[in-house]
A and B are shown apart, each in its own frame.
Chain A
């Protein structure tokens, strides 16, 4: 996979959908619908990923090595065999961290310019 040799910074800035998906997968593996719900809940319903956007993003993220499909499945009573579960890779974590750093930096700069209210 050529993606593995990339530095995390080379993928920045991340498309918002990609960053949200990475955040949704930060704590646990999830299937597609669960990602949509998680993103919705996290943003108080402001961002509703469409299924198409989700899977297009997932396809690209798989190619970039940010995610893998996992074979570990939940207990059978909770499972649906049609579902596929995704897990964030260490590279994905590194990229998410790099993006977070980039955004923090940006907010810091904005604050210094007086755009952001709060502690001056």
Chain B
């Protein structure tokens, strides 16, 4: 019998209270009638009856509670809407932010055993660069010596002109050694990937297409296999197609060709352009592999002291090879989302607490009429869960809308295949959030619902309990603090952005259009052919209305950040520890005018600087400051990439590596003077056009000019210099926009919170206020009382929030571009805004308090 009573606990308490006696009596009667084996059967049957039955009773209650809750909430639509919106904002922001974090930081790469994939880099401990590309010679020697890797391959980027598959166009791809595809565990969808036979000098040139390119150029036809396409004028046979999900090393790669080395490639050990990728042997740790590679690099450095004195080796897990700034940015975003979620929870808890307090009368009446505490708690929980689920569903919709915006923060280089999408796990995360939030803010009021009901009934909801008041005040203080935290963080980032935007890029970006005509080789491998192309294009462009100057350059600043060559100055001791290098660009005459780069001394590049004349260089001011400070640089000679150049002019510095990074000094050379081996990469390809009026109107005539001169020449990357500058700050702008939305939402929520708390306090204290007025208190005194309360809350919140914001600012120092984490202006603005919001939130309640009619209030 005792066991049976225990079983009865499966039923809800209310049901048990009502029917336990009866159930027990029925059971006892049944039990009397059976003997022996029948008794065992009787017990089994009872057990099988009770389980589904108890569930059914619970279900009945749930349906009843949901119906009741929906009815109650429908009667208070304002409350329901506010609560649902608040829950939706919190869960939506948190889900979207988590989606992104999960995509970039948590989710494993789409390759088998991704933890064993590592990037292999050269590093120069003495310099600032810890991840440098490998040279072919180093790759060959490292690979031969390393025993930590089961496989070790390299790849290099490739930008080329594709013909023979529709319109000629510029494509991005990569050259892979045969190790790369198997290393990644990648199987072709069609055909084959590269083998060692593709590396033979005599082997036919081959190419593997991405799924997207295959669909686009060949409509997904299987007959594409074996067909030929021309890449930079060289026919290649299509031997394979990769599946849709595959992309490596980034999402832009459209095709892959085998990476071959000629003997000459191994000559120069400082010719670093290869990305190393390896798979660790099972059982080999990162530490072991790192130690082995350091040893190998050390031995090579002793063998080649001149070229490799500073060069070590670094291995980094592929998944961890994310810039610290990207990581920090995502973490800041997640922090902001959690802040918002916290505010949303606090706000909801406050809403529900206030509601519970307002409904004390109703609850007390129900208690007095015999409703058990368990029923009340259950019903309140159902009500808050209903709100949370509705808010959560809406939040998921918000997350769906927000993810594409957030995704613009993800760097393109992340090897994860697809754009982030919300999946089952993230939905589970959202559901968990919903339930936790629901229980958290349902539990507080519900647990208190049964307490002191008799007293409540007596007092008939007139006064608010002091303890609960304090809890609600604490929640509002937390909201204001979180709000200040978000406001300050956004404020600091706004300051950082405006500081970066205010930096001088070194050129005048207004009114300059640029585009790229990547000349294919070997079609353009003769200097005369190229010169002819440039001169015809430039002279035609110059004749366009509005064009004031135009020129070609190897690469625009900030578009291509590398292209760094070795500098050697006769008589100057080679500083081994300090890499002597400068950024190398070949330009046509007028480049400095077209870009708006100021000429300081001497002359620019001219048409008469031909290959037969002495090779000239125009250097930037920092180059002069570094090598010939205080001397006249004109006429001085230096070796650039081991070739002699004479300085003919000095120009201002340009931020080649971007607004937020230090750049090497710059050296500009004549487009007619250079070693033949350089041209395939350094031949001028970016056209710069400075013009007055509408730049976009120039695009059609520019296209026509290029098309008339070479119909097969594709045009790409049409953009203004301002576009390029905007891209520099693009990620920041997006981040700021997101943070701004979060901060605005937090601001509004905190405002609601304060308003809600004070209005409620006023309505709870109307009796007291009535007494005060009846005793002669002036309305001004009542107003002051309410405002004092509001300002006290605001002060506490701002103080706490400022401390938190300062700590947050310290941890995101790297994103602040030199703005101090204790920036007074930002803190003052955020604090001021919060105080203003507090005052605004308390206006209505204060007004109502001052107009309390003592007679009504005391009745």
Residues of chain B lying within 8 A (CB to CB) of residue A55: 15, 18-19, 22-23
Q: How far is the CB of B578 from chain A (nearest CB, A)?
A: 86
Q: B158 an interface residue at 8 Å Cβ cutoff?
A: no
Complex Cα–Cα for A31 and B25 (A) = 11
- Asked whether A56 and B53 contact (CB < 8 A) given A33-B29, A51-B27, the answer is yes
Residues of chain B lying within 8 A (CB to CB) of residue A101: none
Residues of chain B lying within 8 A (CB to CB) of residue A50: 45-46, 49, 53
Residues of chain B lying within 8 A (CB to CB) of residue A32: 22, 25-26
Residues of chain B lying within 8 A (CB to CB) of residue A52: 11, 23, 49-50, 53-54, 56-57
Among A68-98, those with CB < 8 Å from B are 80, 82-84
Residues of chain B lying within 8 A (CB to CB) of residue A59: 15, 18-19, 57, 60
Residues of B within 8 A of A (CB): 11, 15, 18-19, 21-27, 29-30, 45-46, 49-50, 53-54, 56-57, 60
Q: How far is the CB of B55 from chain A (nearest CB, A)?
A: 10
Interface Cβ pair total, 8 Å cutoff? 54
Residues of chain A lying within 8 A (CB to CB) of residue B23: 51-52, 55
Among A44-61, those with CB < 8 Å from B are 50-56, 58-60
Instruction: Give the one of B26, B27, B50, B54 with max A CB within 10 A.
Output: B26
Complex Cα–Cα for A31 and B21 (A) = 12
Complex Cα–Cα for A31 and B19 (A) = 12
Residues of chain B lying within 8 A (CB to CB) of residue A80: 25
Residues of chain B lying within 8 A (CB to CB) of residue A33: 25-26, 29
Q: How far is the CB of A35 from chain B (nearest CB, A)?
A: 10
Q: A66 an interface residue at 8 Å Cβ cutoff?
A: no
Q: How far is the CB of B843 from chain A (nearest CB, A)?
A: 43
- Asked whether B21 lies within 8 Å of A82 as measured between CB atoms, the reply is yes
Complex Cα–Cα for A50 and B54 (A) = 12
Find the A residue at minimum CB distance from B64: A63
* The 6 residue pairs across chains A and B that have the minimum distance between CB atoms: A52-B53, A50-B49, A51-B26, A55-B19, A82-B21, A33-B26
Give which listed residue, A31, A51, A56, A82, contacts B56 with CB less than 8 A. Answer: A56
Q: How far is the CB of A33 from chain B (nearest CB, A)?
A: 5
- Asked whether A83 lies within 8 Å of B25 as measured between CB atoms, the reply is yes
Q: How far is the CB of A56 from chain B (nearest CB, A)?
A: 5
12 contacts between A and B (CB under 8 A): A50-B46, A51-B23, A51-B30, A52-B54, A52-B57, A55-B18, A56-B53, A56-B57, A59-B19, A59-B57, A59-B60, A82-B24
Find the B residue at minimum CB distance from A35: B26
- Asked whether A36 lies within 8 Å of B57 as measured between CB atoms, the reply is no
Residues of chain B lying within 8 A (CB to CB) of residue A53: 49, 53
Find the A residue at minimum CB distance from B56: A56
Per-position contact with B for A16-57: 1 when CB-CB < 8 Å, else 0? Answer: 000000000000000111001000000000000011111110
Instruction: Give the one of B22, B24, B50 with max A CB within 10 A.
Output: B22
Give which listed residue, B25, B54, B60, contacts A60 with CB less than 8 A. Answer: B60
Q: How far is the CB of B31 from chain A (nearest CB, A)?
A: 11
- Asked whether B60 lies within 8 Å of A56 as measured between CB atoms, the reply is yes
Q: How far is the CB of A74 from chain B (nearest CB, A)?
A: 15
Q: How far is the CB of B70 from chain A (nearest CB, A)?
A: 15
Complex Cα–Cα for A54 and B22 (A) = 11
Find the B residue at minimum CB distance from A33: B26
Q: How far is the CB of A52 from chain B (nearest CB, A)?
A: 3
Complex Cα–Cα for A36 and B60 (A) = 22
Q: How far is the CB of B1 from chain A (nearest CB, A)?
A: 13
Complex Cα–Cα for A50 and B44 (A) = 13
Complex Cα–Cα for A33 and B31 (A) = 12
Complex Cα–Cα for A1 and B431 (A) = 37
Complex Cα–Cα for A36 and B11 (A) = 20
Residues of chain B lying within 8 A (CB to CB) of residue A51: 22-23, 26-27, 30, 49
Find the A residue at minimum CB distance from B19: A55
Q: How far is the CB of B29 from chain A (nearest CB, A)?
A: 5
Residues of chain A lying within 8 A (CB to CB) of residue B45: 50
Complex Cα–Cα for A58 and B23 (A) = 12
Complex Cα–Cα for A51 and B29 (A) = 11
Instruction: Give the one of B19, B46, B56 with max A CB within 10 A.
Output: B19
Complex Cα–Cα for A52 and B11 (A) = 9
Instruction: Give the one of B25, B27, B57 with max A CB within 10 A.
Output: B25
